[in-house]
Amino acid sequence: MQTIKKLIARQILDAVNAEHPDAGLTEEEIASALEYPPDPGMGDLAFPCFRLSRALRRSPVQIAAALAEKLGGGCVGAARAVGGYLNFTISEGYLGDKVVPEILAAGDRYGAQTFGKGKTVVLDYSSPNVAKPFHIGHLGTTVIGHSLRRLHEFAGYRCIGINYLGDWGTQFGKLIVAYRLWGSREMVERGGIDTLVELYVRINNEIKGDPEHGVPGNSELAEASRAEFHKLETGDEENLKLWRWFVDISLAEYQKTYRQLDIEFDSYLGESFYTDKMPAQIEILRQKHLLKTDDGAEIVDLSEYNMPPCLILKRDGSTLYPTRDIAAAVYRKEHYHFDKAIYVTSAQQCLHFAQWFKVVELMGYPWYNELVHVPYGTVSLNGEKLATRTGNVVLLRDLFALAIDKVKAIMKEKNTGAENIEETAEAVGVGAVVFYYLSNNRMKDINFVMEDALSFDGNTGPYVQYTYARACSVLSRAGWQPSGAPVRITCGEESALVKLLCRFGERVCAALDDYEPSYITRFILDVAAAFNRFYHNCPILSADDPAVRESRLAITEAARIVLGNAFDLICLKKTEKV
């Protein structure tokens, strides 16, 4: 549709310039003004002629009427004036002669863009806290982040995926104390990350106490935890050895989830990596007189920018998240020379990112405006907030296992004939969860209801994967190979499907502009619905006319290509048999 808009814009511009060469309009301005009518019966595209009134000194109604008589041919099937709008219908000949062949020729690059060529994007996402398992609260940063990576790669960017592990902080002081009090090496090796979580939950409960039932908190444990983390920061070898062990156990567990999601990272450098890089940034803050002492802690005062102070050092000299984030950003700029650095985290961290982004600007780094925070809404479980320290979580591995088991049961019940049930069930089960999440606008808070997530009816991951498999099946049964035969549009369902397919590139650009993978998810649902209408209402393999059969197979292949390309952008696996 980007190409079609340019062609229509050129026709409009040529018609205007023929009578008003001094109108001062550009093809780009006209193309960007083209809209989609609210009712498809009105046309495929509409141009609001009030945008020309000032330059042409005529009413929009007069302009639309005059232009409608002059435009047509090429991609334009018809142009007619409706009030102050000029409505266009795309030529069915153009759809068959140009759009479908273009999709077939481009294949897995159809919809791809080139504006990112020569540019580098660093994406910081997933980034779980070590010694805590993946739960559904981690799903957002992981799948939104990886989808954004794939979108940027699709636009030509060189992408660096960073898993900025939460492998540093007071929580490790707590875990070390808990391990020494209640754990053992044998216990942890047997239970893995689950045992580490149990220890972490236990010490948090001990520190917090239960005031409602008269159980006081344990301040001594809290102080001991802070002391052990301070020892860790100052290089205590015994604590470092325990910490490295906890990290290794956690990474082994995380890799299982990343394998299921088909996600790989270029770097696993966590917070700990920047321990020796923070002093240099703190010194710059001092040299620029940005640091102030407040109750023993060192801060950057941001009151001038209507923000609370940014805490850089605690009273005991320990660093905090902003300190490490600043050091990490500087290292990444120097190491990767990024044009953009994207951070995908919960919307609850918006203030944190606004604060340290501002500090980076005040420090004089000219690339401060290349830092982008992409927030997303919170996930609750049946209305309750998730929290590892209280144990109120649903682990992703358990959720995926439930979904996979459900798919297996359905496949066996329907006797689908899939060659590899285990592999297909995993692709569809995991896809159901991912698609459910990415169907929502990323800023929308999600109340995770298990029954809805694992539903296989309606606008779901299994539905669109089944649609893709249906297209593959039709092509396989036909033994279809591209023949170069003309594609002719013979019915409304064909026309509607092809018009939708050619909007894919626009959806990719919109998703990139707004950092919004759900645009792709919704587009997939639209294509699946249009393809299924085409499939049910337009005989393909049984078409009487061989030329119509060949055309419809070509359209089926075009739909398969676009669906497959879109699947890749949201981490949804392509299943040829379901």
- pLDDT surpassing 60 at residue 389: no
pLDDT tens column, 548-557: 999 999 999 9
Residue 449 neighbours by CB under 8 Å, 6+ apart: 382
pLDDT tens column, 473-532: 999 999 999 888 999 999 999 999 999 999 999 999 999 999 999 999 999 999 999 999
Nearest to 298 by CA among 284, 281, 286: 286
As a whole number of angstroms, the distance between CA 104 and CA 561 comes to 8
DSSP letter for 486, please: P
- pLDDT surpassing 90 at residue 285: yes
60 close to 42: Cβ distance less than 8 angstroms: no
pLDDT tens column, 186-226: 999 999 999 999 999 999 999 998 887 778 889 999 999 99
Burial category of 384 from C-beta neighbours within 10 Å (exposed 0-12, middle 13-18, buried 19 and up)? exposed
Domains and CATH numbers, the chain: 2-90 (3.30.1360.70), 403-569 (1.10.730.10)
* Single-letter residue type at 163: N
Average of pLDDT values for 163-185?
Answer: 93
pLDDT tens column, 226-253: 999 989 988 899 999 999 999 999 999 9
pLDDT tens column, 194-204: 999 999 999 99
143 close to 437: Cβ distance less than 8 angstroms: yes
* Single-letter residue type at 426: E
**Ranges 75-89, 425-439, 454-468: which has the least confidence:** 454-468
Nearest to 436 by CA among 411, 399, 471: 399
Provide the pLDDT confidence category of residue 387 given band limits of 50, 70 and 90. Answer: low
Whole-number pLDDT of residue 417: 61
Average of pLDDT values for 74-90?
Answer: 93
Whole-number pLDDT of residue 554: 97
As a whole number of angstroms, the distance between CA 508 and CA 33 comes to 18
DSSP secondary structure string, 299-344?
EE--GGGT-PPEEEE-TTS-B-HHHHHHHHHHHHHHHH--SEEEEE
* Single-letter residue type at 573: K
Whole-number pLDDT of residue 106: 97
Distance of CA 319 to the CA centre of its chain: 31
Provide the percentage of residues in the chain whose pLDDT is more than 70.
97
Nearest to 58 by CA among 88, 29, 107, 19: 19
Whole-number pLDDT of residue 383: 64
Residue 394 neighbours by CB under 8 Å, 6+ apart: 135, 136, 381, 386, 448, 450
State the chain's mean pLDDT as an integer.
92
As a whole number of angstroms, the distance between CA 428 and CA 463 comes to 10
